[in-house]
A and B are shown apart, each in its own frame.
Chain A
Amino acid sequence: MKGDPLERADLSGYHGYQRRLARGAFTVSVMTGLLAYVAGYGAAAKGLVLGSLFSVLNFVLMAQILPYQLGVGANRTRATGIALGSLGVRLALMAVPLIVAARSDRFNFWAAAAGLFTIPVAIFVDHAFLQRFSRFRIQEH
């Protein structure tokens, strides 16, 4: 491969976006969890926070793997293989909160499962609503 394009690339915006999204999503889910805890749904709150913690972890891992995957993307079979491998690892990681929640009474299983969808929901909310208002808009270039 002649000259890795990623070495010349400007990835600061990408990392900034990833950090901002992960932090925002986790903060909102912890707030929701706290509210639920105060309201008396302790197990659900813990499950939600546990699930969203692993969702954020998964997202960060995925974001770290992506540039590498882009490098090998010219060969689609290899790219798919790497995607399958990384997805397998990340799914195994995301299985952890589900197993913990299923085995223990202190975490609500359904809340943990819902927590795993923190990042997709956050992305959707971010793009569909927050991007409309300039205060929250990502600084482009």
Chain B
Amino acid sequence: MAFDHVTWIKAASYLGSGLAVGFGAIGAALGEGYTAGKANQVLAYRPRMSGDILKTMLVGQAVAESAAIFALVISMLLVFGGLGGPTPLSAWAYLGAGLAAGLSAVGSGVGSGFPAAAACEGIGRQPKASGQVTLIMLIGSAITQTPCIFGLVIAFLLMFVDFSAKPYYPYWAALLGAGLSTGLAAIGPGAGGGLVGASACKSVARHPEAQRPVTTAMLVGIGTTQSTAIYGFLISLILLFKSFPASTSYVPSFALLGAGFAMGFGGIGPGIGEGITGGYALDQVGRIPEKATLLTRTMLVGQAVSESTGIYSLVVALLLVLNA
């Protein structure tokens, strides 16, 4: 059975669109479900606070949902944007775009749920600090969206840069690998950034006067957490724009695909791990703000060591790309 390339491109863009919006919705829904669960717990012992808790939840979820909306925009563009291409290479580009947008929305969606839940809990505990807690929550979940924006940028590049003059082998793997690398590598940092933001909200609720050290430590913590997402983004850019010679075998194609998988999966673990570290460190910053410097330094050392596996993945991915 043989189809012409138009069929393949259509099929791939529909598949990519479904993956994008599906993954995006799942991530945001998991985050919202977690928030609802936490809010319900708080409501059980603070029924009077329901108005404030609902307000916090609403604000948190409306911001968290932007990850899903990014995925929706990509998905609609894939179906209705009138995209096409002269060669079957475009099919892989559109599939990669859908994967990048969808997978990266999972991490940010789940991650934004954590600060929202922690903020509900914190406001239930310390109603007077609601202004500070909401502000920290908003900053935390806004920065948590950064990996998702990386995915969006890669998806746009895959959709709108013209690759049609390139050889089919090994470019199909480069395009798919670019999508996978950014998409998968964004999951860990998204969720990890959420964990840091959640602990920051808890800390501010406990000690509203420690808002400044907590905000600084949170920004540092989320910043280092997102370094693996930046590695994934970098590998994607190299895969997209480095010129590969046309090949007559499968070897370079699978090397490029392997590079995408290596950096993509390799970014998940360090991202989550660094987020856990940052979370515990911020809990303690809120408890004893006068030791904030010591705690931030210990956090940085721990994060740097757990980042090393991410750097191994980056090295392996680079070697695979250069070998191709």
Contact = CB atoms under 8 A, between A and B. Distances in A.
A99 B47 CA distance: 42
B54 A70 contact: yes
Contacts of A77: 33
**Pairs A-B, 6 closest by C-beta atoms:** A80-B33, A73-B40, A9-B50, A73-B36, A84-B29, A83-B32
A66 B58 contact: yes
Contacts of B52: 13-14
Given A10-B48, A76-B34, A123 B40 contact: no
A24 interface: no
Interface string B174-213: 0000000000000000000000000000000000000000
Contacts of B34: 76, 80
Given A10-B50, A13-B51, A5 B29 contact: no
B322 interface: no
A5 B43 contact: yes
A13 B53 CA distance: 11
A23 B73 CA distance: 24
B43 A70 contact: yes
Contact of A87 (B51, B59, B65, B138): B65
A7 B51 CA distance: 12
A95 B76 contact: yes
A84 B30 CA distance: 8
A107 to B, nearest CB: 12
B47 A9 contact: yes
Contact of A11 (B33, B54, B59): B54
Given A87-B28, A124-B142, A117 B69 contact: yes
5 contacts: A9-B51, A87-B65, A91-B25, A120-B62, A124-B63
A1 to B, nearest CB: 11
B157 interface: no
Binding site of B, secondary structure by majority: helix, strand, loop or mixed? Answer: helix
Contacts of B75: 95
Size bracket of the B interface: 35 or more
Given A9-B47, A79-B37, A120-B63, A87 B72 contact: no
A127 B73 contact: no
Contacts of B214: none
B154 interface: no
B55 A17 contact: yes
A31 interface: no
A61 to B, nearest CB: 11
Nearest to B142: A124
A14 B54 contact: yes
Contacts of A116: 69, 72-73
Contacts of A5: 43-44, 47, 50
Given A76-B37, A80-B33, A14 B51 contact: yes
A94 interface: yes
A95 B77 CA distance: 10
Given A5-B47, A83-B33, A119-B62, A102 B82 contact: yes
Contacts of A79: 32-33, 36-37, 40
